[in-house]
């Protein structure tokens, strides 16, 4: 039984693309057949994070409009053979996507993969609503700060109103992924705590990804964080989140590593 | 007694009640009938806020200008035009009011008594009769406009079935229920609006905006388990987040209208 997941947030820059790549790679490492789909038409990024930017020939728009076959557009990951990428077009805009076209692509992906993870563009316009339209479940990415949390709340409202699932009267499955979490800054009151965010959004927590410089390093190298440095704190957070997505009961924690703890102590003393 | 020169002035969005006069075509005949009534009741329009509703007239701007001139010449002070094309607005024209709502069924329930007070409503069609009865009622209460509407509309609201929302109200969503009370079992997020004709009950945190008594019911109240609101409004009187005292922030409270300002008190 395959599952379509949309990774969405409302606000830009909170870590949707990073999370899509990491969750996709983590699920693939668990042995599932996974496709990650970039819906950010016109501003494609997922190909860069996945390190596949030199191999893009056809894209989502080509497949949705019937100009290319899904097979021609899918890019198989060089590190993980059961992980594929469907890139977005950089030259077109989001108006080139039609609901019928997207539905056809999603149906075909559903028949071929265990997990289809759709990377939504920021905002609440056409691109974002089409990315969530045919999803079975949503991963709502938020940073522990007020503007991100409010935008996520808005997106949760849309998930409950604008998706096929919701329109058929079903209840959309939603998970919160809290990224860029810094326990030190939370303790100093500079960031919202996990409890604050959960109280506002009232959806179940999928994972807490600590703020960590390894994430940027992995992005720059074009490697999902779980493949780049599996022992790093964010990689462990994403791996556990993927296991929870599969239904495993993994106790919730904020993974940390020795160095960031050391840096935190040092930083506190200097401040 | 000097005040700092940089002190700002205060603006507040408020709803007031006005009498809406609805002229009917043909205008010349309607004005003739108006003159008859003005002769009988010269004080009908004095010192009253009057809005002219031209939506049934299909006037152009010069026609509307002439109507305004005609009515002004008869001692009717026009505070605004309803049902007019917004493009007409200019300095020498009354302000154009975008939306209007009838205040009440209450006026209609009082038709009989108002007929006595207003006197002979003979020779008028139903619309004109209603308009004059409205004025007569206002006159009878000496300046206190729509006293019956104020005391009766909350009663009516409570008769309507309350709206119960069993989910959190998310940012960007609006719950509007002008028929009566709204109960929300869950929180109201920042960026969400709840608009009720009656009272608003929130079993959760209120972080968005709440408008109780949206059609002027001054007895409406707002109750919430935790006050983090961006804005509270009761009966058209507003209070922004900045004006909400720190002693009630984050507390279970109720808010109500007292002498034209919103009072907030903790519930526990």
What's the complex ipTM?
0.74
Phi and psi dihedrals of A137, rounded to 5? -150, 160
Residue B126: its pLDDT value, please?
58
Average pLDDT over residues A103-127: 96
Which region among A225-234, A239-248, A256-265, B221-230 has the lowest average model confidence (pLDDT)?
A256-265
Residues of A in contact with B171 (CB under 8 A): 150-151, 153-154, 157
Residue B42's pLDDT band, with cuts at 50, 70 and 90, is confident
Residue B191: its pLDDT value, please?
92
Q: Which of A60, A56, A76 is nearest to A68 (CA)?
A: A60
Residue B143: its pLDDT value, please?
41
| pLDDT tens, position by position, A23-55 | 999 999 999 999 999 999 989 999 999 999 989
Helices A213-221 and A233-245: angle between axes, nearest 10 degrees: 80
Residue A225, pLDDT > 90, answer yes
8 Å CB contact of A154 and B191: yes
No. of helices (H) and no. of strands (E), chain B: 6, 15
Q: Count CB atoms within 10 A of the CB of residue B216.
A: 20
Residue B137: its pLDDT value, please?
58
Phi and psi dihedrals of B262, rounded to 5? -85, 130
Q: Which of A103, A156, A160, A153 is nearest to A130 (CA)?
A: A103
| pLDDT tens, position by position, B223-263 | 999 999 999 999 989 899 989 999 999 999 999 999 889 99
Give the C-alpha separation, A139 to A241, whole Å.
10
Which H or E run includes A261?
helix A258-270
Residue A123, pLDDT > 90, answer yes
Q: State whether residue B79 is helix, strand or coil.
A: strand
**Residue B208: exposed, middle, or buried by beta-carbon count in 10 A (0-12, 13-18, 19+)?**
buried
Which chain A residue has the Cα nearest residue B191? A150
Q: State whether residue A233 is helix, strand or coil.
A: helix
Q: Looking at B83-170, which runs of residues are DSSP E strands? A: 96-97, 163-165
Minimal CA separation from A21 to chain B, in Å: 28
8 Å CB contact of A153 and B189: yes
pTM over 0.90? The answer is no
**Residue A140: exposed, middle, or buried by beta-carbon count in 10 A (0-12, 13-18, 19+)?**
buried
Q: What's the mean per-residue pLDDT of chain B?
A: 77
Residue B149: its pLDDT value, please?
38
Phi and psi dihedrals of B204, rounded to 5? 165, -170
Specify which of A90-94, A113-117, B32-36, B255-259 reaches the highest per-range mean pLDDT. Answer: A113-117
Minimal CA separation from B166 to chain A, in Å: 13
Residues of B in contact with A124 (CB under 8 A): 172
C-alpha atoms less than 13 angstroms from C-alpha of A54 in its C-beta half-sphere: 3
Average pLDDT over residues A81-86: 96
Average pLDDT over residues A86-99: 89
| pLDDT tens, position by position, B66-120 | 888 888 888 788 888 888 777 777 777 888 886 666 554 433 333 333 333 333 3
Which chain B residue has the Cα nearest residue A161? B173
User: What is the Rg, in whole angstroms, of the alpha carbon atoms belonging to chain A?
Assistant: 18
8 Å CB contact of B190 and A150: yes
8 Å CB contact of B190 and A146: yes
| pLDDT tens, position by position, A129-169 | 999 999 999 999 999 999 999 999 999 999 999 999 999 98
Residues of B in contact with A159 (CB under 8 A): none
Residue B147: its pLDDT value, please?
34
Residue A205: its pLDDT value, please?
97
Closest residue to A157, CB basis, from B171, B187, B190? B171
Contact residues for B126 (Cβ-Cβ < 8 A; gap 6+) = none
Residue B198: its pLDDT value, please?
94
Residue B166's pLDDT band, with cuts at 50, 70 and 90, is very high
Cis omega (within 30 of 0) for bond into B254: no
| pLDDT tens, position by position, B170-211 | 999 999 999 999 999 999 999 999 999 999 999 999 999 999
> Is residue B129 within 8 Å of B114, Cβ to Cβ?
no
- Which is higher by pLDDT, A203 or B62? A203
Closest residue to B170, CB basis, from A146, A153, A199? A153
Minimal CA separation from B158 to chain A, in Å: 29
Give the C-alpha separation, A217 to B135, whole Å.
76
Give the C-alpha separation, A158 to B251, whole Å.
29
- CA A187 → CA A102, A194, A239, distances in Å? 44, 11, 25
Residue B268: its pLDDT value, please?
84
Query: What is the 8-class DSSP label of residue B188?
Result: B
User: What is the Rg, in whole angstroms, of the alpha carbon atoms belonging to chain B?
Assistant: 22
Which region among A111-115, A244-248, B135-139 has the lowest average model confidence (pLDDT)?
B135-139
């Amino acid at each position: 039984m395959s599952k379509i997941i949309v990774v969405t947030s409302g606000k830009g820059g909170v870590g949707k693309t990073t999370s899509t790549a990491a969750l996709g790679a983590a699920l693939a490492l668990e042995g599932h057949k996974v496709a990650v789909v970039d819906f950010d038409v016109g501003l494609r990024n997922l190909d860069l994070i996945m390190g596949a930017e030199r191999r893009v020939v056809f894209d989502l728009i080509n497949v949705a409009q019937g100009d290319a076959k899904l097979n021609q557009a899918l890019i198989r990951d060089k590190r993980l053979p059961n992980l594929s990428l469907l890139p977005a077009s950089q030259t077109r805009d989001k108006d080139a996507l039609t609901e019928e076209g997207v539905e056809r692509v999603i149906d075909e992906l559903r028949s071929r993969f265990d997990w289809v993870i759709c990377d939504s563009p920021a905002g609440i316009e056409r691109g974002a609503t089409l990315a969530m339209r045919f999803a079975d479940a949503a991963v709502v990415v938020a940073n522990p700060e007020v503007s991100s949390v409010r935008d996520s709340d808005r997106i949760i409202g849309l998930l409950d109103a604008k998706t096929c699932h919701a329109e058929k009267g079903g209840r959309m499955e939603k998970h919160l992924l809290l990224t860029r979490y810094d326990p030190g800054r939370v303790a100093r009151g500079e960031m919202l705590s996990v409890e604050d965010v959960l109280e506002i959004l009232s959806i179940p927590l999928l994972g807490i990804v600590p703020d960590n410089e390894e994430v940027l390093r992995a992005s720059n190298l074009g490697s999902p964080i779980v493949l780049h440095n599996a022992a790093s704190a964010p990689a462990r957070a994403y791996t556990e989140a993927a296991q929870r997505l599969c239904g495993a009961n993994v106790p919730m924690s904020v993974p940390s590593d020795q160095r960031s703890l050391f840096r935190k102590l040092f930083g506190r003393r200097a401040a | 007694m000097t005040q700092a020169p940089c002190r700002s002035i205060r603006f507040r969005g408020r709803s007031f009640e006005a009498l809406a006069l609805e002229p009917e075509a043909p205008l010349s005949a309607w004005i003739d009938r108006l003159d008859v009534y003005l002769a009988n009741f010269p004080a009908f329009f004095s010192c009253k806020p009057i809005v002219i509703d031209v939506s049934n007239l299909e006037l152009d701007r010069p026609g509307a200008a002439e109507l305004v001139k005609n009515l002004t010449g008869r001692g009717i002070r026009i505070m605004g035009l309803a049902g007019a094309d917004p493009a007409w607005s200019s300095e020498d024209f009354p302000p154009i009011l975008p939306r209007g709502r009838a205040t009440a069924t209450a006026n209609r329930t009082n038709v009989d008594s108002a007929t006595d007070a207003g006197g002979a409503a003979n020779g008028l069609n139903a619309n004109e009769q209603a308009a004059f009865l409205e004025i007569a009622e206002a006159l009878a209460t000496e300046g206190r406009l729509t006293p019956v509407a104020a005391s009766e509309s909350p009663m009516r609201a409570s008769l309507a079935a309350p709206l119960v929302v069993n989910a959190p109200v998310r940012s960007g969503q609006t719950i509007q229920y002008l028929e009566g009370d709204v109960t929300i079992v869950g929180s109201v997020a920042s960026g969400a609006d709840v608009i009720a004709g009656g009272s608003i009950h929130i079993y959760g945190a209120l972080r968005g905006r709440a408008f109780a008594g949206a059609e002027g019911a001054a007895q409406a109240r707002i109750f919430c388990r935790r006050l983090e609101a961006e804005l509270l409004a009761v009966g058209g009187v507003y209070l922004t987040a900045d004006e909400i005292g720190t002693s009630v922030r984050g507390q279970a409270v109720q808010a109500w209208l007292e002498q034209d300002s919103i009072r907030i008190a903790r519930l526990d």
